[in-house]
Structure 1
Amino acid sequence: MNFQLRKQKILAQLSMQGEVDTKALAQTLGISEITMRRDLNQLSDEGLLYRTHGGAIPVAEPEMPHRFVNKAASNQAAKDKICSKAAAQINDGDVIFMDCGSTVFRLCQFIKNKKIKVITNSMPVISELQNSRVSLNIIGGEYDADRQAMHGSIAIEHIRRYQAGKAFIGVDGLSAKGLFAHSEKEAAIALALAAQSTHTYLLCDAGKIDKPSYLQFAPLEMVYAIVTNADPAALKYCKKKGVKVINV
């Protein structure tokens, strides 16, 4: 059975059941689990499904709007590698900030069993962690339906009341010139989280390296470390600016 036929059967099964399990689906289609995981990762990269720890769910998951789900689903295999490495920086007892970035959201699956406190403005993060060992502090403010997150002056005031050892943020692009965002409100949240944290970790896939976007909002030195799958050679300027690069 070729990939295109498997693709049709996987998506049909997903549509009927609302979720699929990697092992069970591999048995149904008569292929190895390795092949099934590769197929699911490829469909995830195409934005056709959303990968979970043991299988997949539709990108039209009701808890999240279409824009956020498709953004979270794209390049998911790389994001999971980045988040697995980032999770290794988190210890029981830590207090951490998490922003509303789609890569940062993928961190949830790797920290569910850690006894930590998470302060976040992201509704998907809250939904994912609410029945885990993690203690949640929910940032209030104006609700952004597209980003499924809280923003605005009240959100900034909330953040300024707390101190965290680590913040995990995402950006829309970075270069030697600094960090870039698509909107002022997301930039404001990132700046506030970094200001209240001892160390700020930037979770960034290779596609955002040297890709300036709409708004340059902070110097590269604002972050303590970048966790990325990018070629180290593409980030030589980080060392010169005292920014640690954690490669996956």
Structure 2
Amino acid sequence: MLATERHAQLLERLAADGALRTTAMAAAFEVTDETIRKDLEVLEQRGELVRVHGGAVPPSTPRLDLSLTERQKVNLEAKRSIARQAAQRIRPKEIIFLDASSTALTLTEFLPEVPLTVLTNAHNVVTALSGRDHLEVFSTGGLYEMRSKSYVGLSAEASLKRYNINRMFCSATGFDLERGVSETNPRQAAFKERVIPCSGEVCFLADSSKLGTMASFFFASAREINTLITNFDADPTFVAALQKIGTEVILAP
């Protein structure tokens, strides 16, 4: 089969299925994975698709900036499992940072009953932790975003300089091996980028559907993520690639 014929069929399958997996296409066309990767590169250069880890998606695939209420309903059980694993990393008297993600909010349910300082830019995290006598809870303050129920902007970023954060717990819209971690919301991306250098460990909490995907605004490279906690069905190739660059990967049951 000529490359042009294969390209046409790849685009037909992309339109029908909404995504392409490199290994599956290699098997279907009886060619090597490398051949398919080169095909996808050509099609990306033509603007026909966007390559992601393990395959490709349509160029118009939306990365919606859902509200916090909407995000809380997505993959709830996976988030709870990931949050349980994340809570096990926390040690007494640490300063931890929780971002405005729905997964970090879920983590508040599982925080250990030990003295902790919690810093957050999420209004709902502050509310969730109110009344817990063993916790000291600090809000960054800043410009309040109604949709994400969080604080962002220059004043929120400036407040970070006061803290020596032991562990940053965050999530995002997508995690691509080459480009890194990305958000649909530029203000959230800018804020998280400022938290990273203030943190001893950057712990990324993400269900497996986010791995190998990209949104519009990048705030961290793959090497800046010290620990990934995801669910057990994560792509083994993605996991192995992260481990190769020194990232600890924890698979939640």
Per-residue CA deviation, residues 191-244 of structure 1 (Å, 9 max, x unaligned), is 121110111100011110101111223211111100101244432210222111
Alignment of 1:156-235 (within 5 A): 156-177=157-178, 178-229=180-231, 230-235=234-239
User: C-alpha distance in 1, partners of 2:112/2:122?
Assistant: 16
Inter-partner Cα distance in structure 2 for 1:188 and 1:113 = 32
Number of matched pairs:
183
Tell me, yes or no, if the aligned pair for 2:90 and 2:112 is still in contact at 8 Å. no
The letter of the residue matching 1:117 is: T
SS across alignment from 1:194? helix
Find the aligned partners of 2:152 and 2:241 in 1 and give their Cα distance. 32
Q: CA deviation at 1:112?
A: 5.9
Partner of 1:20: none
1:31-50 mapped onto 2 (5 Å cutoff) = none
Query: Within 2, Cα distance between the matches of 1:220 and 1:90?
Result: 22
Q: Is the 8 A contact 1:99 1:189 kept in 2?
A: no
* 2:100 partner amino acid: C
1:139 aligns with 2:143: no
Kindly name which structure, 1 or 2, has the bigger radius of gyration based on alpha carbons: 2
Q: Which amino acid aligns with 2:169?
A: F
| Partner Cα distance (2:186, 2:215) in 1 | 12
- Secondary structure in structure 2 of the residue aligned to 1:179: strand
Give the superposition deviation at 1:115: 1.6
- 3-state SS of paired residue (2:187): helix
What are the Cα deviations for residues 15-64 of structure 1, in whole angstroms up to 9, with x where unaligned? xxxxxxxxxxxxxxxxxxxxxxxxxxxxxxxxxxxxxxxxxxxxxxxxxx
Match of 2:69 in 1: 69
Structure 1 CA distance for aligned equivalents of residues 88 and 236 of structure 2: 20
Which residue in the other structure is 1:84 paired with? 84
1:236 aligns with 2:240: yes
CA distance in 1, matches of 2:110, 2:206: 17
Higher relative contact order (CA 8 A, sep 6+): 2
Once superposed, what is the RMSD of the aligned Cα atoms? Answer: 1.4
Task: Measure, in 2, the Cα distance between the counterparts of 1:73 and 1:242.
Answer: 32
Q: Does residue 95 in structure 1 map to residue 95 in structure 2? A: yes
Question: Normalised by the size of structure 1, how large is the TM-score?
Answer: 0.71
For structure 2, the residue ranges without an aligned partner over 5 or more in a row are 1-65
Q: Aligned AA for 2:225?
A: V
Corresponding position of 1:105: 105
**Residue of structure 2 equivalent to 1:117:** 117
Secondary structure class of the residue paired with 2:97: strand
CA contact (8 A) 2:230 2:251 kept: yes
Listed as ranges, the gaps of 5+ residues in structure 1 are 1-65
Contact 1:144 1:150 in 2 (8 A): yes
Q: Which one-letter code corresponds to 1:172 in the other structure?
A: T
| Stretch deviating more after TM superposition (203-212 or 110-119) | 110-119
8 Å CA contact 2:93–2:117 kept in 1: the answer is yes
* Contact persistence 1:160–1:192 (CA under 8 A): no
**Residue 155 in structure 1 maps to residue 159 in structure 2:** no
